Amino acid sequence: MTIGRFFEDFQLGERISHATPRTLTEGDAALYLALYGSRYPQYCAAPYAIACGFARTPLDPLLVFHVAFGKTVPDISLNAVANLGYADVRFLEPVFAGDTVFVDSKVIGLKENSNGKTGVVYVQSHAQNQHGNPVLQWQRWVMVHKRDPQTPTGHQHVPKLKTALTAAELPVPNGLRVPDRQDHYTASKKTARDYQIGEVINHGGGITLGDSDHMLATRLYQNNARVHFDAAYMQQQPAGQRLIYGGHIMSLVQALSYTGFENALWLAGFNSGVHANPSFAGDTICAHSVIREISVTDNGIGALRIVSFGQKVASNNTRPDQLFELIDSQTLPADIVLRWDYWLVTA
């Protein structure tokens, strides 16, 4: 049975070409809509996408992320104890229906933990399309089991990771522009200038998670991590039940955030993402965001650096006015399942 790589199986500088390239289609886009219900028109309305300067309707960048991420699972994290974090995630070019995504990774860091049982693997991953153009890059680090806890590997290389992209570094799709009469299509006149640093936005709504939903999603991404699919196995584990793929929560939060960020044009990248607590079927997730940085330009295109929180609805929920203090904290309350620091290019 394939159980994935152990810490000893990784080499610093090693390049891994991940199996099963994937052609994304309108079918994937429809499923993505059904899974999350996003209402951003650039991802579901061709005339609006074209008015924004896209050649045609781009696929939601998070759909591309999840599929590309899924490719890395068999080689990087099938045997992971925990997905520890992401950094420097950049959506370099739109991906369109019909495009094929190829994914590879390079091992950029290896650090054995002091207990000898586990180590942390750092990878830089890239997705490119069938023309060889890079469409997405990201770093992540995972804790994996050692095969042999008795024999130290000596690996102590921790790479220097980017803590955050600056506004000037954000990838912006060629030709991106604010459409005429944007508010006619989005029901909002808000631009980057209308937000304030420190402002907390309640995105409203709330979505209750189900096992069929998240399994459909995670299979669509061809992510084969057993923890998401096998209830019999998970009953033997501390969680006691299937874990929901963390990216599923990101997508739910992004879909809910349409109410509040209606005129966003492009998810340019993310600075970090923390799956602070696990999510399970039956949990209800709501979303709040803190505005962290605002960038405005002369050409009408701005950018918001946002920290969004996916929150499990519970009796003692963290209050919105407490969220600003949590945007960099090391620990997070039990009701916070996601803290996600990212940049939206917006009107």
Stretch 26-55 residues interacting with a second copy (CB under 8 A): 26-31, 33-41, 44-48
Q: Exactly one of 5, 10, 52, 57 binds a second copy (CB under 8 A); which one?
A: 57
Of 220 and 253, which CB lies nearer to a second copy in the complex structure? 220
Helix 61-72, helix 246-256: angle, nearest 10: 180
Residue 178 sits in the site that holds a second copy (CB under 8 A): no
Using alpha carbons, select from 327, 321, 325 the residue that is nearest to residue 309. Answer: 327
- Residue 91: CB atoms within 10 A of its CB come to 28
Of 45 and 81, which CB lies nearer to a second copy in the complex structure? 45
For 128, the 3-state DSSP assignment is strand
* Residues in binding contact with a second copy, number by CB under 8 A: 74
By CB under 8 A, the residues from 137 to 176 that bind a second copy are none
By CB under 8 A, the residues from 302 to 341 that bind a second copy are 313
Residue 218 sits in the site that holds a second copy (CB under 8 A): yes
Both structure tokens of 155: 């690996």
Q: Cα separations (Å) of 150 from 116, 143, 173, 211, 292?
A: 7, 17, 50, 39, 45
Q: Exactly one of 53, 159, 205, 278 binds a second copy (CB under 8 A); which one?
A: 205
Q: Cα separations (Å) of 260 from 38, 49, 288, 304, 342?
A: 13, 20, 10, 12, 15
Please state, in angstroms and rounded to a whole number, the distance separating the CA atoms of residues 137 and 61. 12
Least distance in angstroms from the C-beta of 202 to a second copy:
4
Least distance in angstroms from the C-beta of 164 to a second copy:
28
Q: Exactly one of 191, 224, 277, 295 binds a second copy (CB under 8 A); which one?
A: 224
Of 163 and 208, which CB lies nearer to a second copy in the complex structure? 208
Residue 190 sits in the site that holds a second copy (CB under 8 A): no
- Site stretch for a second copy (CB under 8 A), options 79-87, 137-145, 216-224, 330-338: 216-224
> Quick one: CA torsion of 78, 81, 87, 92, rounded to 10 degrees?
10
Residue 216 sits in the site that holds a second copy (CB under 8 A): yes
